[in-house]
């Protein structure tokens, strides 16, 4: 089972809401949950479908020093979409 599927199963099983998402991002230890936190932030900020999040590659993310620019090249509507994550 890949890490993304584990994250989505965990999220569904725990019925995560916005309050608990914020708490999780702030309080969960990075050494154990860093990948899950990153996937959750990208899921929220990019309003990604599960397959878009799964197909996201490192070259789809640009560091703008004060923000990250994410680009989803293959969307359901076949139109590329971008979003930013401010630090």
pLDDT tens for 6-43 read: 777 766 666 655 557 778 888 888 888 887 887 777 77
Q: Is 86:67 a contact under the CB 8 Å cutoff? A: yes
Q: What integer is the mean pLDDT of 41-61? A: 78
pLDDT of residue 61: 85
Q: Is the overall model pTM greater than 0.85, yes or no? A: no
**Residue 5 corresponds to which tokens in the numbers above?**
């599927």
Nearest to 8 by CA among 67, 71, 70, 53: 53
Q: What integer is the mean pLDDT of 63-72? A: 86
CA distance 27 to 16: 15
């Amino acid at each position: 089972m890949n890490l993304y599927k584990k994250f989505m199963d965990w999220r569904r099983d725990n019925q995560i809401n916005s309050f608990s998402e914020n708490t999780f991002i702030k309080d969960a230890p990075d050494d154990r949950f860093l990948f899950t936190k990153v996937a959750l932030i990208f899921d929220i900020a990019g309003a990604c479908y599960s397959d878009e999040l799964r197909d996201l590659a490192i070259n789809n993310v640009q560091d703008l020093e004060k923000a990250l620019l994410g680009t989803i090249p293959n969307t359901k509507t076949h139109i590329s979409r971008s979003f930013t994550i401010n630090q």
